[in-house]
Structure 1
Amino acid sequence: MRKFIINVNGNQYEVEVEEITDRVSTTQRPAPQPATTPQPTTKKAPAPQPAPKAEEKKEVIITEGSEAVEAPMPGTILSINVSQGDTVTEGQVLAILEAMKMENEILAPRDGKVASIVVTKGASVNTGDKLIVLE
């Protein structure tokens, strides 16, 4: 017998280990089988899809006496509160633009009549994009 002192988690233990030499057993392991490689299956790659087209900007023609209301910042149009042909007053809310998780009111700069609405609800706009044209 052999004695050992072992430390486990800060606790000290005295252990006696018996040495066994005359009872050695040997076992034979079976020979490893050669690995079979699976046959590769050929799969066709999906056909490439064309890239989505960027939204085409409507060309807006501003006539004399008309005024375009432009986006003051990039964002998404949440709602359009007027229709073509409506009469609006200065300061009236024309649309709501969401930018940086904030809703911004787009106001009429003057009294007038809505000549055309250039954007649609849900459209992404950049600074300076024309939103609504007033006559």
Structure 2
Amino acid sequence: MKKFNITVNGVSYEVEVEEIKDGASPAPRPAVTSAPAPVAKPAAKPAAKPAPKSAAAAPAGATNVDSPMPGNIWKVLVKEGEEVQEGQVLIILEAMKMENEIVAPSAGVVATIHVSEGASVNGGDILVSLK
């Protein structure tokens, strides 16, 4: 038997492997009924989450409309300086082959549009800023 440490998704497991020589069949072993206890998990480095590219361009005091999920901007339905009402559709986001309407959380004026049609966005990226 040889022992190995195997790491799967950041969790280390100790496994035993039996080498079979010349086609000999291994002796039957009892089945393990419980999951193996993980070996000491290495300390993970905290991943630095980059700030959205457009965060610096958001005007002070503006309400940001963020992307709820990753996807592609299919259509931008408003222009900068346009007045919008609460619940008005601002952007159509395509995610998982579905068109998702991104609406204004409150009435206001479109201060900045941070994306363009065809752009890829991640969840949490700022799409539009409202004053």
1:105-120 equivalence runs, <5 A = 105-120=101-116
Query: 1:63: Cα distance to partner?
Result: 0.9
Calculate the TM-score normalised by the size of structure 1: 0.56
When the two chains are superposed, the root-mean-square deviation of aligned CA atoms in Å is: 1.3
**Structure 1 stretches of 5 or more lacking a match?**
1-55
Q: Which has the larger radius of gyration?
A: 1
Query: 1:68: Cα distance to partner?
Result: 0.5
Q: In 1, are the aligned partners of 2:76 and 2:91 still within 8 Å (CA)?
A: yes
Question: 2:82, 2:116 → 1: CA distance?
Answer: 16
Deviations 1:34-93 (Å, cap 9, x if unpaired)?
xxxxxxxxxxxxxxxxxxxxxx933333412x1000000000000000000000000000
Deviations 1:6-59 (Å, cap 9, x if unpaired)?
xxxxxxxxxxxxxxxxxxxxxxxxxxxxxxxxxxxxxxxxxxxxxxxxxx9333
Question: 2:102, 2:113 → 1: CA distance?
Answer: 13
1:124 to 96, 120, 124: 120
> After TM superposition, what 4+ stretches of structure 1 lie above 2 angstroms from structure 2?
56-62
Q: Which residue of 1 aligns with 2:99?
A: 103
Query: Percentage identity across aligned positions?
Result: 53
Number of residues of Structure 1 aligned to a counterpart in Structure 2: 79
2:73 to 52, 56, 77: 77
1:52-91 equivalence runs, <5 A = 57-58=53-54, 59-64=56-61, 66-91=62-87
Q: In 2, are the aligned partners of 1:95 and 1:105 still within 8 Å (CA)?
A: yes
State the one-letter code of the partner of 1:63: A
Deviations 1:99-127 (Å, cap 9, x if unpaired)?
00000000000000000100000000000
Question: 1:68, 1:60 → 2: CA distance?
Answer: 11
Calculate the TM-score normalised by the size of structure 2: 0.58
1:30-45 equivalence runs, <5 A = none
Q: Which residue of 1 aligns with 2:23?
A: none
Q: In 2, are the aligned partners of 1:62 and 1:68 still within 8 Å (CA)?
A: no
State the one-letter code of the partner of 1:132: V
